[in-house]
Structure 1
């Protein structure tokens, strides 16, 4: 399977481990990734300032994938996935907006076709590749490890535009973790926001949101938290000490991207997965 990949802004500029691990694991499942040529911002930063510009930027990336004859576009970042999915939904359901966007795209010799499938790491692995295929590739069974799954807000909501998993009872990330031989926990804070959206306007609130979830899962004795979003990862890993301090938490907790956890189970060298870049990771996990 050949697929274009859209990295967005945050992954290639700060969350290198996510890119490294995505590039490492997908070839094991005969998925060949091609960087999207000429990619622009997803539109997220300007959505509340100029909604038309945001819509155009998201749609433009789909048009680029179509131009290069890709049937699918992998978007690992939750926010980017939301923005591009929203752009597709808006244009597919509004003929006037579609005409407006097509006119703008034509100035770059681009065209929106509507035939490019938008994938996220979660549904590409769970729905396309499949849990059984993942199990068959596991070299190091992650037994005696227990994790909390954090899907993130934007990958499951709003449901009307078509998201990766159920908005109220998401389970795909847990299924993917369990495919590696590890356990997952159920916890009432699972759907709570990481706080990233508030980090620059209400920093204390943002850190408190992240800290509350970390403290909650610590009380259940997990070995770590697994996520699939660079913004969530920053809140739970990079900002972990500050977040726990806001809620009276003390000990640290491991935080990994799912693709890193998958890479460990596949037997890939830790450095190739960017595990040395994680700020909070336990020896128990690193020993695998």
Structure 2
């Protein structure tokens, strides 16, 4: 019996689509971009280009999937410039955010995941005038994980988190969905809200908020009218004790709230 060797080019487009959908989008693009015109046409489909995730969860932290400068450079110099207008969602580690976002203006990008953000990277990214147009005018969904350096003292962590969070709604002015976690779920510092640390933590466009907080008081601060359009609120709550008297101005009619006690 004779055996024949069948290559990718011998398979119909439908079979190639099924095979490629079993892989990560960035692996499909990195492995098959530029091989030939036919493969380029297939991998430029929105299935592989609309949502690109360059991070993954490993053990107790998010890690960058750009395993080398060669991979990062190939995406930034070749792949992303050819599909930038197809991308709607990017998930990026703090170390590669500026490299990727400076490739193009990404006219259809409206969802962004920023992972392992610390005080320094937040200042660098949020103060970037080149990126401000994308952040202010396009991004409606934002996922952020805050990186905590275990060498910092507790007060330093709280202040760093406060500085980062307070900047978010002055930079991303069209948010409708906001998800905020810490990068590591071990010994995580819960956000403790008050008007002194978070004077700008408010929005008239936000509809959905998912967040970790320290106490029930913080829930009341977040529901005091600063997010007057909010209809969905998921909160990871560390402490259910309530000691402060806070005047809430928001109506809870037809709003969905989910409180989780850890």
TM-score after normalising by structure 2 = 0.33
Query: Would you tell me which structure has more strand in proportion to its own residues?
Result: 2
The answer to which structure, 1 or 2, has the higher relative contact order (CA under 8 A, 6+ apart) is 1
- Flag the structure with larger Rg: 2
Relative to its length, the structure with more helix (as a share) is: 1
TM-score (norm 1): 0.31
